[in-house]
Amino acid sequence: ESGDPQRTALLLRKAWTLYSVTPLYRFCRGRLRDYARLLSAFIAAEKQKGLAVEVGVELDIKVALSSLPELQGSEQDEPALLVQLSSRSRASPRNSEDKILWLGCFCCVYGDDLSENMPEDFTCLPLFLANGAESYMSVVGNWFQKTFDCIFRRLAISPFSLSWMVAMWAGCKVDKAASAVELVFSVPRLPQPLDISYAIHPEDAKALWDSIQKTPGEITQEEVDVFMDCLYSHFHRHFKIRLSATKLVKVSTAIASAHCDGIVKMLHSQYLSGVLMLLTELAISQIQ
Amino acid sequence: MDEIVAEYIRRTVLKIPRDEIKMMLQKWGFLSEAQLQTLNFHQIKDNISQEVVQLCEENSADIKQAAVLDIIYNHIYQNKRMWSVYQMRKTGEELEYFDLTDFKKKFKRRLRSALKNVTITFREYEDNAIWIRVAWGTPYRQPNQYKPSYVVYHSQTPYVFISASVLKSNLPLLCQALIVASNYHDIREMELRSHSLNSLKDIVFKRYSQNFQTYCPKPLQGKTVEPESVDLRIINENRNEKERIQRLNQEAFGDGPQPILQFAQYKLETMFKSSPELDVLDKKEPFRCLVKFSSPHLLESLKSLAPAGMADAPLSPLLTCIPHKARNYFRIREKKGLFPGSFVSP
């Protein structure tokens, strides 16, 4: 099944948990229907064993695998693979819509670093996004690991990467009603924990970034450092607190938000690809 | 007994933790001791509340009595609610004798003249606190007992603590009724909010141990930073610095326990300034930010930042002024003129 432009909208405004996935061995793009059937049977068996059980109503879980060719960076990238678990309660009428229980998406946006020297039998889809109950992730993850000899690992996002994200995203052009550029810091090891939310008006954050960035379209580590230092020193001037000594745990802009536990939300269709490219890079670093 | 009342009593009892139900019903005093004896407090709460409702039925409880039980619950669990502080103002300096009966009469009259359907309940507590519960209705609907507003008024002070329900439209009417009843002419909301009602009282009644502005000429005795270690080869690094921080913290925050606040919010409208080598933003417009600090016990948390090495000592007055300015919402603008580095908070 091929994707359609509407379906990339599926990725927007949802909280996705991130994983890195090692290359899949002997994955065949033509066999999606077969895989869906096999995964469905696997889930049914796990349910009978007592895992992945939803309390209450009896659910028939339907599995659908499809390609999302829109989510690709370069020609070398594998098209994204969407895994959808939906249900129709046996109690509800025939023609009622299926409820989406869980979504998973394998993707690779500008993953040349990984796919370059990959042997024939391997498919590179290093980034995995999951939305829905953990129990379904567990079952689906297990099946893919068993079937394609790959490994899923949670992808955490370091404060270093979060700074890159906020600097990049703050510089993006957005409309008048854009939300603030927010950085959330946590100071857990005090006798009483402290959280600090530092939100900057998006126009002012963009103005600051624009005055730092030398070449449009290019970002250097030095520029990110200057951007962060400016924010830290403005804060220090007022509160005498050194934000650089605290832990940056979350960044949030009109483009996307990201949490250090490896949870992202993508908010703007125009920049979807850009965000996925960044996340693909993080996933690849974790694999290599 | 009305089913609405029955259901309300049932749900109120369900909120109470099981081991506290008996105590609260005793405080309520609506059921006799003999009736309370018949209750089995060892069954599931659902059943206990059903039995309580039965007994209330026997005594023909009405909404007034049910409201008293609700006040008792909210007085004990006052920290579950978010409280805002209001200050009333009088023209003259005369201290009028406070007449509770007069207050209640005027308050009820003012509310009822504007709104036919309201449930108003009063309860006095030992610390001179008058608790008022108001359930709001409309000209066509009975009061919603599940979203009442609570007011705590200490008659010897101009302060009122309000935990409004979600229905904020009733707030002006509530404020009006308060000033009419208490013979003040004006009321304004202070920028001070917390879950801890007692801490808000501590702050506005100045009951906490305040930092003293006078300079302490003698070095403070007592608190050593760390216990002496037996091995003389191990010395305290930066002992002087640690003691300096300790002293400055003490001056800023005082000695005693801090009032409990959960957050402080600062709307910054100051100019962005960077070091001259960085060829960055040099706008004539303010750099607009919103900073919010949150913690289960904010002031204790802030107090521990300098000793932990994450902040300079002395900490910024923007933070240390919270209790004596009695606010935790601030708007900071650049101070024009002689001292460009300083801030003014309107």
**A34 and A127 share one domain:** yes
Q: Where are the domains of chain B?
A: 3-78, 83-204, 243-275+284-333
Give a yes or no: residue A82 inside a domain: yes
| DSSP-assigned beta bridge partners for residue B188 | B87
Cβ distance B290 to A208 less than 8 Å, yes or no, reads no
Give a yes or no: residue A251 inside a domain: yes
Cβ distance A193 to B281 less than 8 Å, yes or no, reads no
| DSSP-assigned beta bridge partners for residue A92 | none
- Domain B83-204 belongs to what topology? S-adenosylmethionine decarboxylase (3.60.90)
**A139 and A213 share one domain:** no
Dmax over CA atoms of chain A, in Å, equals 64
**A74 and A12 share one domain:** yes
Q: The domain B243-275+284-333 is classified under which CATH number: 3.30.70.270, 3.40.50.970, 3.40.50.1950, 3.10.20.720?
A: 3.10.20.720
| pLDDT per position as a tens digit, B40-76 | 999 999 999 999 999 999 999 999 999 999 999 999 9
**A83 and A185 share one domain:** no
Whether complex ipTM tops 0.90: no
Of A139, A154, A169, the position where a domain reaches its end is A154
**A36 and A84 share one domain:** yes
CB contact at 8 A, A153 and A286: yes
Distance, CA of A79 to CA of A223 (rounded, Å): 33
Of A154, A173, A208, the position where a domain reaches its end is A154
**A128 and A229 share one domain:** no
Taking contacts as CB-CB distances below 8 angstroms, the residues of chain A near B293 are 194-196
Residue A257 three-state SS = strand
Q: In a structure prediction context, what are the per-residue pLDDT tens digits for chain A, which is 288 residues long?
A: 334 557 778 899 999 999 999 999 999 999 999 999 999 999 888 887 776 555 544 567 889 999 988 888 888 888 999 999 998 766 666 656 778 899 999 999 998 888 888 888 999 999 999 999 998 999 999 999 999 999 999 999 999 999 999 999 999 887 877 899 999 999 988 889 999 999 999 999 999 999 999 898 889 999 999 999 999 999 999 999 999 999 999 999 999 999 999 999 999 888 888 899 999 999 999 998
Taking contacts as CB-CB distances below 8 angstroms, the residues of chain B near A189 are 308
Structural domain including A211 reads 159-260
Per the structure block, which two tokens stand in for B129?
Answer: 């606190």
User: Residue B148's closest CA among B57, B12, B3, B6?
Assistant: B12
Taking contacts as CB-CB distances below 8 angstroms, the residues of chain B near A238 are 266, 268, 270, 291, 316, 318, 332, 343
Between B193 and B236, the higher pLDDT residue: B193
Give a yes or no: residue A61 inside a domain: yes
**A11 and A148 share one domain:** yes
Give a yes or no: residue A148 inside a domain: yes
| pLDDT per position as a tens digit, B124-155 | 998 889 999 999 998 889 999 999 999 999 98
The pLDDT value recorded for residue B275 is 66
The pLDDT value recorded for residue B91 is 75
Of A134, A154, A174, the position where a domain reaches its end is A154
Total domains, chain A: 2
Give a yes or no: residue A26 inside a domain: yes
**A33 and A124 share one domain:** yes
DSSP A122-185: EE---EEEEEE-HHHHHHHHHHHHHHH---EEE----HHHHHHHHHHHHTS---TTPPPEEEEE
Give a yes or no: residue A114 inside a domain: yes
As a whole number of Å, the CA-based R_g of chain A is: 21
B interface with A, Cβ–Cβ < 8 A, is: 266, 268, 270, 272-275, 278-283, 285, 287-298, 300-302, 304-305, 308-312, 314-316, 318-319, 332, 341, 343
| pLDDT per position as a tens digit, B230-286 | 666 666 677 888 888 888 888 888 778 889 999 999 999 998 877 666 666 667 788
Give a yes or no: residue A284 inside a domain: no
pTM, entire model: 0.82
| Closest Cβ opposite residue B310 in set A187, A192, A238 | A187
Work out the pLDDT band at B1, boundaries 50, 70, 90: confident
- B225 to each of A120, B236, B242, B310, B315, how far by Cα in Å? 65, 9, 7, 17, 19
**Matching fold, domains B83-204 and B243-275+284-333:** no
**A39 and A109 share one domain:** yes
Taking contacts as CB-CB distances below 8 angstroms, the residues of chain A near B272 are 204, 208, 230, 234
**A180 and A144 share one domain:** no
SS3 of chain B: the string is: CCHHHHHHHHHHHHHCCHHHHHHHHHHHCCCCHHHHHCCCCCCCHHHHHHHHHHHHHHCCCCHHHHHHHHHHHHHHCHHHCCEEEEEEECCCCCCCCCCHHHHHHHHHHHHHHHCCCEEEEEEECCCCEEEEEEEECECCECCCCCCCEEEEEECCCCEEEEECCCCHHHHHHHHHHHHHHHCCCEEEEEEEEECCHHHHHHHHCCCCCCCCCCCCCCCCCCCCCCCCCCCCCCCCCCHHHHHHHHHHHHHHHCCCCCCCCCEEEEEEEECCCCCCCCCCCCCCCCEEEEEEEECCCHHHHHHCCCCCCCECCCCCHHHHCHHHHCCCEEEEEECCCCCCCCEECC
**A115 and A190 share one domain:** no
